[in-house]
Amino acid sequence: EVLLLESGGDLVPPGGSLRLSCAGSGFPFNLYAMIWVRQAPGKGLEWVSTISETGDASHYADSVRGRFSISRDNSKNSLYLQMNSLRAEDTAMYYCATSEFSQFLPPDNWGQGTLVTVSS
Amino acid sequence: QSVVTQPPSASGTPGQRVTISCSGSTLNIGGNLVYWYQQFPGTAPKLLIFRNDQRPSGVPDRFSGSKSGTSASLAISGLRSEDEADYYCASWDDRQGGLVVFGGGTKLTVL
């Protein structure tokens, strides 16, 4: 069974930084592309970023490009999202997800999420 | 404004068949695979349909997906009260180096 456990969500002031982590288990982590998706309170799903299986390619939403950085450590079965210059509009539940077949696909398995609140 | 459009709401009575549409363009749905998700309040989304019309194991066959041109649909037959949830479609989009696009979501109410 695919298990994804996010951590690192917190209350942070505008302009601050935060690093989210996602621990994967129950699947061959190094063979899956990984994705971050967020959902603002009461809003729909918004794709944030995707990283390839080896970590040599990544894609970002316009809303976070230049501020957020996705990375992974396959030796630790872990995915990360470094978030800098945070804004109020970054407040959301952040979900880690897998893409089993390709980095060019939507997510399949999802974690339970970690909450990021940007407020002074 | 999402580049993939869904109706904000849909409804049906128990036992009825309901369809939810997802409209896009040649850059996304028209040239790529469509996924569907079900989300209950306060919980993470769950994959319902992948690769246009494939169901993951454990998803009842009451749920089915289809795609034609730049549009896709999710059909739920034999509607049950526990199907009341938010439903999202998603696809890869080929613009700007590539991105995942989600529909705005459809709130399904079982009357």
Q: Does A27 touch chain B (CB under 8 A)?
A: no
Cβ(A35)–Cβ(A53) under 8 Å? no
Structure tokens at B31: 């040239």
Helix (H, G, I), strand (E, B) or coil at A20: strand
| Mean pLDDT of chain B, nearest integer | 96
Contact A106 B100 (CB under 8 A): yes
- Joined together, the tokens standing for residue A66 give 């230049």
Between chain A and chain B, the number of residue pairs with CB atoms below 8 A apart is 64
Express each pLDDT in A3-34 by its tens digit. 999 999 999 999 999 999 999 999 999 999 99
Nearest CA in chain A to B98: A59
Q: Is the pLDDT of residue B1 over 80?
A: no
Per-residue confidence band for B97, with pLDDT thresholds at 50, 70 and 90: confident
The mean pLDDT of B53-58, rounded to a whole number, is: 96
CA dist B53 and B38 (Å) reads 15
- Cβ of A24 under 8 Å from any chain B Cβ? no
Tokens representing A12? Answer: 């942070």
At A69, the pLDDT band (50, 70, 90 cuts) reads: very high
Average pLDDT over residues B77-89: 98
Nearest to B89 by CA among B60, B110, B67: B67
B96 has pLDDT over 90: no
User: Is the pLDDT reported for residue B98 higher than 90?
Assistant: no
CB contact under 8 A, A108 and B33: no
Our CA-based measurement puts residue A43 at a distance from the nearest CA of chain B, in whole angstroms, of: 8
Q: What average pLDDT does range B3-23 have in this prediction? A: 97
